[in-house]
Structure formats: C-alpha cells, structure tokens
Amino acid sequence: STQSTWGGGAAISLGMSLTLRKGTVMVCNIQHFNVLHKIISPKDIITVHSEYLVKMTEIVKNNKGLLDRFSGDKLFASWNTLLVQGAHFTMGCTAALQARAALATINESLEANGFPPISVRIGIAMGDVLSGNIGCDSLKCFSVIGNPVNICYMLEKLNRKVGTQVLMDGDTQQKATYNFTTRLVDLVDMLDLRVDGKSKVTKAFELVSVKAAQAEDEWMYQLEAAEAENPYEHFDKAFAHFARGALDKAEAELTSHLEKNDSDEVALVLQDRILEEKERPTFTAADGSKKLARDVWYL
C-alpha cells in the first residue's frame, strides 16, 4: 500500500496511489463566458479563451501551483497535493491576486484586437484533500477530491451574488490574515460531509490585497498600525449587524463606510441586500418585538 502524509504529521496507509494531506485549491472562471458565445464567433472565442488560459497558466506555475485540469472556461489548480509545499495557502492567494491583476493586460490585448473585455471569478479553499491518479483500470488521470474542492467551486459562484472577484473560505483566511487584507462578506449554510452530513456555516471572505512586506524588527509595530487603520472597519461592523438581523444598525454602519468608499461595489451590493431583508414580512415574537420571517440569522 502507498504511504500518505496528513498535513505535516503521521503517515497514513491508503492502499492505493493517493495522497491525503492539507492542501489549497483554487478555481478560476471567466464571468459571463456563455454570453461571449452569442456576440463573437466560435473562432474568436478560442482566441479569447487561449489568451486567458496562457496567462493564468503562467501565473499558477510561477506560484508553484499544480494545474489539475481545464473544464471549458474553468481552470483548477492546487498546492501541497502532488508535492509537499510549505505556506501553500500564501501561494494560492498570491496566484489569485495576480490572476485578478492580469486582467488589465489581457483586456488591453483583447480590446486592441476588437474583442470585448473579460472578468473572472475565483474561489480558494484549504483543507484535507485526496490527490493522485483517480479513475478505472482503462483510464486514470491526476485529480484532487475532497470537501475543500466543493467549497472553492461554491465560492467561485458566490462572487456573483456578493459583488466580488476573489473569495476564500475561513480556514484559508485564518492562515493568510497576516499577509493579506480580507473581509467577511457572506455566510453560507452548506452540507459538510466531514461531520456526518450535518449542516455547517462556511464563512466567505473577500481576498482584497496583499499587505506590504515588513522588516522583522518592525513587524509588530506595522501590524498594529495596519489594524488601527482598517479601511473596512465600518463595513465589517455593518456585515456583523446584517448577519445578526440588526438591519438598522447595519444600514447606519454601511452609510459611514460608503461616505469614504462610494465606489465599493461589495458595499453597494450589501446595501441592496439590507434593503431586500427589510422588505421581508415580519411577525410578533413572544416578547412583543417585531422579527423578520427568516429561518436563520448566523451570528
């Protein structure tokens, strides 16, 4: 049987050519790709697609990622799967931010050749995954499977709802928080197969930017300064109130945030979500207070 490593710890015998350990997975998808098929020719679709895939492949490889597969306009990559890698979450997050930034160059080239610009949605998740040659006797290919894969695909789609381009799960955010600026933008009630099919809330964080590198002797001072100057302080409070159902408080905090960040698309989407929740029917609770007719308030 094949020996496998769980995280950085004890080896586990799997009885097949699969490796089980904590890894980071990422899926990147062209937004509204189906719409492009309606406005440009199939030949031009291939041109746009190739321009995108060449750059994304280069970014993943430069960040020591493993390209698992292409599926239509989706690209799936992983870290710490085939090869053991330290700080794999940092590599994945860096690749995601570079992919987002590369759109400016890609779109400049596309528009110069008469093609419409594109946008991407990216999901990142971290956790225990199986990787290796998976299939049957007649056909096998390298693949990565596990709940983090399901989560990263879910987060990629969730970008459309919350107005973001890059979302990560809570496990990745906990590891990446000292090197990257993030903010909590949604809570998703989903099935987690690791806990006997019980429902589990997954936190969705926007990956905003990389924090400036800091000299070792100035690390704590700079960290404290960054926390004191959190540009998303009012947004964070607004979302916390929203998640608890305190919509008036959420609206007030969000108004304060938008006074200085009036073009923040994610905040504008949250503003719409607050207004939608306010339009929901209410009922009178046992204590006489008015409650929204919503099944779950998460926090």
Question: How do the pLDDT tens digits run along the chain, 299 residues long?
Answer: 333 333 333 334 344 578 899 999 999 988 767 667 777 777 877 887 788 888 899 999 999 999 887 776 788 999 999 889 989 999 999 999 999 998 888 888 878 878 778 889 999 999 999 988 877 777 777 788 899 999 999 999 999 999 999 999 999 999 998 899 999 999 987 654 444 555 577 899 999 998 865 444 454 445 555 555 678 999 999 999 998 888 999 999 999 999 999 999 999 999 999 999 888 876 666 666 555 555 444 44
What SS3 state is found at 187? strand
* Cβ contact 253:247 at 8 Å: no
- What is d(CA 70, CA 54) in angstroms, rounded to the nearest whole number? 12
Nearest CA among 265, 260, 22, 43 for reference residue 131: 22
Nearest CA among 295, 259, 255 for reference residue 277: 295
Stated as kind and residue range, the H or E segment containing 260 is helix 247-260
- pTM for the model: 0.81
Alpha helices in 14-64 (DSSP H): 33-39, 42-62
- CB neighbours of 70 closer than 8 A, spacing ≥ 6? 53, 76
- What is d(CA 6, CA 1) in angstroms, rounded to the nearest whole number? 16
* Cβ contact 88:26 at 8 Å: no
Stated as kind and residue range, the H or E segment containing 156 is helix 147-162
* Cβ contact 230:236 at 8 Å: yes
Helix axes 265-278, 147-162, angle to 10 degrees: 80
- What is d(CA 15, CA 4) in angstroms, rounded to the nearest whole number? 10
* Cβ contact 180:209 at 8 Å: yes
